[in-house]
Structures are given as C-alpha cells and as structure tokens.
Amino acid sequence: MPTIPEDLAARLARFLADTDCPGAQLGVLVDGEIHVESAGVLNLDTGVEVTDESVFQIGSATKVWTATLVMQLIDEGQLTLDTRVADVLPGFRLGDPATTAGLTVRHLLTHTSGIEGDVFDDFGTNDDCVARYVEGLADQDALHELGETWSYCNSGWVLLGRVVEVLTAGSWDDAVKQRLGKPLGLERLCTLATEAILHRASVGHVKPPEAESYVVAPEWSLPRALGPAGLITTTVHDLLRFGRMHLEEGKSDAGEQVLSAQNTALMQQHHADCPERHLLADAWGLGWMLDEQDGGTLIGHGGNTIGQSTYFYLAPDAGVGVALLTNITGGSVEARALLDALLRELAGVGLPPQPEPADGALDLDLDRLAGTYRRHGVETIIERSDGALHAEITMSGPMVETMGISTVEMELLPAARDGDDRVVFVGRHPLAAGLGWVPVTFYGDAGDGRPRFMHTGARASVRAD
C-alpha cells in the first residue's frame, strides 16, 4: 500500500514559488486517510495566511456534486437518465423547439445538449435566481443538435440544479448541504458568499495583460444563479471527503449509503467522447471527466472561477485521490506536474500529456480550416498565416465586462492529425498565462468538405460562413 510522501509541504512551497501563486491547499487521500498541506496567503492585500481550515472556491468541480444530487433522485425513482427535462419543469422552453422537446437528463450530465453554455447573466441573490435563469434560457438557440457533439455547458448544469430544486421542493443550495454535506459530515461547505465570509475565505487573484504580478480580482464570485455549475466553496479536506464517498461505493465515513453503489459506478463509466482529448479529459462520465489509460482510469473535475482554480483527481482502482486548491487562474502546467507526480507515485497512473506543436510538417489544407466560427459570446476568425493559422477572438457578455478584455489574437501551430476528419493545432492564449499550449481542434463536416466545428477551451464553435 502506498504511503503519503513526507515532502508534501516542500512540493507545495515549490509550486507557489514557481507560479507566484499567493496561496494554496494540497490534499492527498491514500488508504482512506487524508493529509493536507497549506501555504501562502489568502489575500495579497491583507496578508492573511492560508490554514487547513481555509475555504476556496472549487468552481466547476461543483458539477460533480450537482450530478450526485441528480443520481440520488434517480435512486429514489424520481428521475431516469432519459427523463425529458420538459416533463420535470412545467413551461420549460429554449429558443430551439427540437431541443426543448427532446432534451434529457442524460444530455445535460454529459455536455451533449447543444445548449449555449456560457450564459453568465445575473439574476440576483434571492432563492428564485436559478428559476429565473432557466426562464431566461428561452431566448437561447441551440449550438448544435442533441447528441451531435460534446461541448462544455454551464447553462445545462444550472438546468440540472433547477431539476433538483423542483424535485426536492427547496433551493439547490439547501439540497447540497442537506443531502451531501450533512450525511458526509462536511464542516466547511458553503454555496453563498454570506456563508463563506464566516470562514477563513480565499479571494481570487488575476494577472491583467501586461501586468508583472497578480492582483486581487475585481469581484469575488460569479452570480448566484450559476451555483449548480460552479459555486461551492470548501476546504481541500472536505473536497476529498466527498471524493472518498465516490471511492467507497457511495458510502459515507459512517457507513451511510449516500448514493447507491450502482449509480456511483455508473457515474464513473464512459458516456461521451471529448473532441479535445487531453485538454480536460479523453471522455466524460456522468459529471466526472475520465482519462482512460493502460495504467488505469482517472476520474476528476477541475474548476476556474474569478481568480481561483481547482484540480481534483481520483484513481478508483488504487483508492487514491489528490486535490489542489489555488487562488490564481494560472499555474496549470505546474499544477498538473505536481499532481501527475503524486498520482504516478501513489496510484501508478498519471495525467495524459498535453499537446505540443508537431516535430515535422503536416500535410494540411489550411484554406479548408479558415473561416468564421461562433458560439454564445465568442466569434473566432481563423485565417491562413505562413504555414500556420491566425486566430482573432472577439468576446462579449458579463464576464468580458468584469475583466475588461474583449479581443485577443493567437497564432496556431499544427500539432497532430487525429483520425480522418480531425486536425489539432496549438497556440499560446494571451489570457491563459501559465496554461501551456492551448489546443484548437477542427472536426466534423459542414457539408462542403470544410470542418463544421472548431473546438477550444472545451467549447465547440460552429462554422458561420
């Protein structure tokens, strides 16, 4: 049985030094035991130190918690994976009638719904904000047909949160605490800023373009309506306790069956392929991302909010978990290296390598790839550029207003052919410092031999010309 490395504190200190990250928590789960190291400060302006009791935003890792709530409702017979959302939410409507009629719980859990995913509109802080957000989706058209491809969809997870609210007759926030936090004995589980402030809470830090160092982020949190998609705040210890339940066939530390063993296993099975392999994952389960390798399977889910990032992986075959909570949005390369080393030592399976520019020339028709691609709030113009591609990305919406940046440019270098109709390029995104090479994947058929989709940042954009 592997043992927890004695130099965890030194590894975490090295991560902070290499990334200029103000503060972080590192947790390791081995043989049922959790060990935590904390270092740095929660806020550069105040200098308050990170302790093991400090809480960080876990961002989209929240989605696994929401998925667990949905699977509990399936355990109770209130849902199935193929239940139509319209049958649960009276009056539910999207801009596309076919998507409204056919949308199922399975589509939402696997990011295959085609709903425009990055709607960050603010519907206030009252308990009705999730319901009002869902009503606002009536104006959103479908990005693609149901099940046509995979595209990361925050909006779909707010919809799942609303399903939870209707079937539990309460708020999503209450469901998380009563149905997960309470049986798991989690001591520092927050979904609201008014709760987080009662704890030793981290703030986010960002590095604006041309800035030399991190500064405190202009806002602390995304709008409350996005809760089911990414607003849990907790400690790395409680995050790993939640993960331990998923390694123990759905049982709490006290032996309570929080989720059936059958549905715990079903969440960890392959349900959808990801177009951008090795960016987030090879495939998707129900809530979990999956990396399937010769050495075994990794499940997990990361998260990014306004200046905070989460890295969370479990190796089910070895009963091992690792998690890193940070208060920056950069440092992904270093974070992956840190957790990859731990996973290889403790579980014998590591993270897949990130794509890099090809060593030699690839025989590619660059003119076929050029064009305009769109999704909600983002238009990308791809042009040929001396044996490579040039991308001009124009963004709009509430998050752009918060960060004050609307247009970026990126040079794309050929990386790989992936099958007959899939071509991968990589570039350095100016807003993704410390994230390494960002893959951009072209695939599908627009009907004229040109790709229908451009996939980057885990999102699909559709050819618009």
Closest listed residue to residue 107, CA positions, set 343, 272, 246, 267? 272
Q: Where are the alpha helices (DSSP H) in 248-319?
A: 261-267
Q: Distance between CA atoms of 278 and 294, rounded to whole angstroms?
A: 15
For 362-381, the pLDDT digits (tens) are 888 899 999 999 998 899 99
Q: Give the pLDDT of the chain (465 residues) as one tens digit per residue.
A: 688 888 999 999 999 999 999 999 999 999 999 999 999 999 999 999 999 999 999 999 999 999 999 999 999 999 999 999 999 998 999 999 999 999 999 999 999 999 998 999 999 999 999 999 999 999 888 999 999 999 999 999 999 999 999 999 999 999 999 999 999 999 999 999 999 999 999 999 998 877 889 999 999 999 999 999 999 999 999 999 999 999 999 999 999 999 999 999 999 999 999 988 766 788 999 999 999 877 789 999 999 999 999 999 999 999 999 999 999 988 999 999 999 999 999 999 999 888 899 987 788 889 999 999 999 889 999 999 887 899 999 988 775 665 556 888 999 999 988 766 789 999 987 766 566 788 999 999 999 989 999 999 899 999 999
Q: What is the pTM of this model?
A: 0.95
- CA 348, 349, 355, 360 torsion: positive or negative? positive
Residue type for position 124 = G
- Assigned token pair, 282: 């090879």
Query: Is 60 among the residues known to form the active site?
Result: yes
Write down the pLDDT at residue 208: 81
Contact (Cβ atoms closer than 8 angstroms) between residue 102 and residue 114: no
**Catalytic, out of 60, 171, 221, 252:** 60
Residue 307 and residue 327 in contact, taking contact as beta carbons nearer than 8 Å: yes
Q: Phi/psi of residue 183, each to 5°?
A: -65, -25
Residue 103: φ, ψ to 5°: -60, 130
| Spatial contact of 156 and 113, defined as CB atoms under 8 Å apart | yes
Can you give the pLDDT at residue 82?
98
- Residue 255 φ/ψ, nearest 5 degrees: 90, 5
- 16 Cα distance to chain centroid: 22
Q: How much is the pLDDT for 384?
A: 92
Q: Residue 334 class from Cβ within 10 Å (0-12 exposed, 13-18 middle, 19+ buried)?
A: buried
Kindly state the tokens that stand for 145: 């047909």
DSSP codes of every residue in 130-148: HHHHHHHGGGPPBSS-TTS
